[in-house]
Amino acid sequence: MIEFRLPALGADMEEGTLLEWKVKPGDVIRKGQVIAVVDTAKTAIDVEAWQEGIVHRLIAEPGQKMPVGAVMALLLAPGESPPTPEAGVAETGTTAAVAQEDARAEARRRISPAARRRAEALGVDLDTVVGTGPQGAVTLADVESAAHAHASRAADSHAQSMRAAIAAAMTRAKREIPHYYLCEEIPLAKALAWLTSHNAGRPLAERLLPASLLLKAVALALRRYPEFNGFFREGRFVSASQINPGVAITTPQGLLAPALFAADTKPLTVLNHELCELVARTRAGRLTDAELREATVTVSNLGDQGPQAAFAVIVPPQVAIIAFGRILERPWASEGRLEAIPTVMASLSADHRVSDGHRGGLLLREIAENLQHPEEMEA
C-alpha cells in the first residue's frame, strides 16, 4: 500500500487545503498525472502523482486543511491486491432521529424553490442565509447576496494569508542568507532592433517579447556560471541539473515565481509561448506543484511600469535572483561618441556562501554580452 502525502509545494509551505480530487477509488493513475487541486497560502496548485498505482481510498475530503506530509490517499502499487474491506457501520437510531429532526426544522423555513436550487448550485448553506421575503422567506436574491459576501470574505482572507506567507519567507531569507548585491547597465539597442525586425509582419500572438530575450540571455549565462543555479541545503550547495528560471509574476494576491523548464535549450519562439501561457495560468491560479517546486533561480522583470532598478530578496533554497528594471533611453558613450540608446539595469542578489562578487560580476557581463548578439539566442 502506498501512502500519497501532501507534498511541500514551495519552500515556505507548511499546510494546504484540498480543493478537489481529480480521481476516484479504482482509477489507474500514471506518474505525472494531476490527481488533486490544493490551495496553499499563495495559489491553487495541481498536485501530480509521483508514481503509478491504483486509487484505493481517498482519505482527505475537499475543504480539509492539512499539514505538509499528511496522508491524503492510499494507492495500490501495480499488481497489488486490495485488502479485505471492513464491514460498514449501520446508522444508529440516534443519528437517524437527529437527521429527521433537522429535516422537519428545514421544512418550517420558507425557502423558494428557485432559491433552493441556486443555493445548491453555489454551495451556499441555507442555514446561514437571512431571509428578507414575506415572513422571513429566503429568496433568490438572498442566496445571491450571501454567495457574493462569502466570496468577498474568502478572497480577502486568502490575499491576507498569502501576503503574510510571503512576508514570513522573505524575512527568514534576509535573516539566514548572507546576501550581496551587484548591478550592471546593459545597452539594448541591438537586441531591440533585432526584435523589431523579427516581429515585423508577424501576428500579434507570434511576436517575441523583450522579456523572453532577457530570460534566454540569463539562462545561457547560467550555463557558464552554474554556481548561481541551484540550492543551498543542509549546509552545502547543490548545483541543479537543469536551468529552470522561476519567473516572478504579479497576481492580485501577491508575487509568485513558477518555473520555465530547461529555458536554455528552447528556441525563443517556444520560450515566448511558454512564458505567455505560464503568466496566464499563474494569474488564473492554475499551476502544477512542479512549477512551484522546481525553479532553480528567480528572474524578475519589472516591466514598463517598474522602477529603473531593484535589488530583490533570494527565494530559499535558491542562491540567486536576477532583476531587470524598466527599459529607459539613456546617454551612452561608445567609440568616442555620445548618443541616446535604450538600456536596462540588471541586478544580482546572490548568496555569499556559494559565490562572490567577482563571479557575480562575470555573470552579469555574460548576460550583457548575450544581449549584444540576439540572433545567436534564437535557436
In this structure, is residue 72 part of a structural domain? Answer: yes
Q: Give mean pLDDT, residues 10-35.
A: 84
Are both 133 and 279 inside the same structural domain?
Answer: no
Residues whose CB falls within 8 Å of the CB of residue 23, separated by 6 or more in sequence, listed in order: 29, 35, 36, 55, 58
C-alpha cell at 96: 437517524
Query: What's the confidence (pLDDT) of residue 108?
Result: 53
In this structure, is residue 153 part of a structural domain? Answer: yes
Cα dist from 237 to 46, 227, 352, whole Å: 29, 8, 11
Reading phi first (left if > 0) and then psi (alpha if -120 to 50, else beta), residue 72 is in alpha
Are both 149 and 196 inside the same structural domain?
Answer: no
Please give the Cα distance from 217 to 372 (Å, whole number): 10
Residue 158 reports pLDDT greater than 60: no
C-alpha cell at 265: 535549450
Are both 228 and 368 inside the same structural domain?
Answer: yes
Residue 7 reports pLDDT greater than 60: yes
For 350, the 3-state DSSP assignment is: strand
Q: What is the CATH number of the domain that holds 341?
A: 3.30.559.10
Residue 374 reports pLDDT greater than 90: yes
Are both 264 and 338 inside the same structural domain?
Answer: yes
Query: What's the confidence (pLDDT) of residue 87?
Result: 41
- Residue-wise pLDDT for 230-279, tens only, equals 999 999 999 999 999 999 998 876 788 999 999 999 999 999 999 999 99
Residue 94 reports pLDDT greater than 70: no
With beta carbons less than 8 A apart as the criterion, state whether 196 and 72 touch: no
DSSP of 40-65, one letter per residue?
-SS-EEEEEPSS-EEEEEE-S-TT-E
Please give the Cα distance from 78 to 185 (Å, whole number): 56
Residue 319 reports pLDDT greater than 60: yes
Query: What's the confidence (pLDDT) of residue 92?
Result: 44
Query: What's the confidence (pLDDT) of residue 145?
Result: 81
Residue among 162, 184, 199 at smallest CA distance from 44:
162
φ, ψ of residue 338 to 5 degrees: the values are -115, 125
Amino acid of residue 174: K
Query: What's the confidence (pLDDT) of residue 20?
Result: 87
In this structure, is residue 89 part of a structural domain? Answer: no
Helical packing angle, 210-224 and 268-283, nearest 10°: 110
Query: What's the confidence (pLDDT) of residue 132?
Result: 83
DSSP label of 127: G
- Please list the alpha-helical segments (H only) found in the chain: 93-108, 113-122, 140-176, 189-199, 210-224, 268-283, 289-293, 357-371
| C-alpha radius of gyration, the chain, whole number | 27
User: Residue 332: in which H helix or E strand, if any?
Assistant: strand 328-334
For 286, the 3-state DSSP assignment is: coil
Residue 102 reports pLDDT greater than 50: no
With beta carbons less than 8 A apart as the criterion, state whether 29 and 77 touch: no
In this structure, is residue 60 part of a structural domain? Answer: yes
Are both 167 and 199 inside the same structural domain?
Answer: no
Q: Give mean pLDDT, residues 15-41.
A: 87
Are both 307 and 199 inside the same structural domain?
Answer: yes
Taking the CB of residue 181, how many other CB atoms lie within 10 A of it? Answer: 12
Are both 304 and 369 inside the same structural domain?
Answer: yes
Are both 43 and 57 inside the same structural domain?
Answer: yes
Q: How confident is the model at residue 91 (pLDDT cuts 50, 70, 90)?
A: very low
Domain boundary residue, one of 56, 76, 96: 76
Are both 30 and 112 inside the same structural domain?
Answer: no
Q: How confident is the model at residue 365 (pLDDT cuts 50, 70, 90)?
A: very high
User: Domain range spanning residue 70?
Assistant: 2-76
Are both 157 and 60 inside the same structural domain?
Answer: no
Q: What is the CATH number of the domain that holds 47?
A: 2.40.50.100
Please give the Cα distance from 175 to 179 (Å, whole number): 9
Please give the Cα distance from 286 to 317 (Å, whole number): 23
- Residue-wise pLDDT for 265-317, tens only, equals 999 999 999 999 999 999 888 888 889 889 999 999 988 878 888 899 999 99
Domain count, the chain: 3
Q: What is the CATH number of the domain that holds 155?
A: 4.10.320.10
* Cα of 180 vs its chain's centroid, Å: 26
Query: What's the confidence (pLDDT) of residue 344?
Result: 96
Q: Give mean pLDDT, residues 181-190.
A: 96
With beta carbons less than 8 A apart as the criterion, state whether 225 and 359 touch: yes
In this structure, is residue 113 part of a structural domain? Answer: yes
Please give the Cα distance from 216 to 30 (Å, whole number): 32
Q: Give mean pLDDT, residues 132-148.
A: 81
In this structure, is residue 15 part of a structural domain? Answer: yes
Residue among 6, 11, 18 at smallest CA distance from 49:
6
Residues whose CB falls within 8 Å of the CB of residue 62, separated by 6 or more in sequence, listed in order: 18, 19, 20, 21
For 309, the 3-state DSSP assignment is: coil
Residue 157 reports pLDDT greater than 80: no
Query: What's the confidence (pLDDT) of residue 301?
Result: 92
Q: Is 136 exposed, middle or buried (0-12, 13-18, 19+ CB in 10 A)?
A: exposed
User: Residue 72: in which H helix or E strand, if any?
Assistant: strand 71-76
Are both 184 and 141 inside the same structural domain?
Answer: no
Share of the chain above pLDDT 90, in %: 47
Mean pLDDT in the chain?
A: 85
In this structure, is residue 101 part of a structural domain? Answer: no
In degrees, to the nearest 5, what angle opens at C-alpha 143 toward C-alphas 137 and 147? 155
Are both 234 and 373 inside the same structural domain?
Answer: yes
Domain boundary residue, one of 28, 58, 76: 76
Residue 40 reports pLDDT greater than 90: no
C-alpha cell at 68: 505538509
Residue 97 reports pLDDT greater than 80: no
Query: What's the confidence (pLDDT) of residue 1?
Result: 85
Query: What's the confidence (pLDDT) of residue 358?
Result: 97
In this structure, is residue 91 part of a structural domain? Answer: no
Please give the Cα distance from 82 to 20 (Å, whole number): 24
Query: What's the confidence (pLDDT) of residue 10?
Result: 65
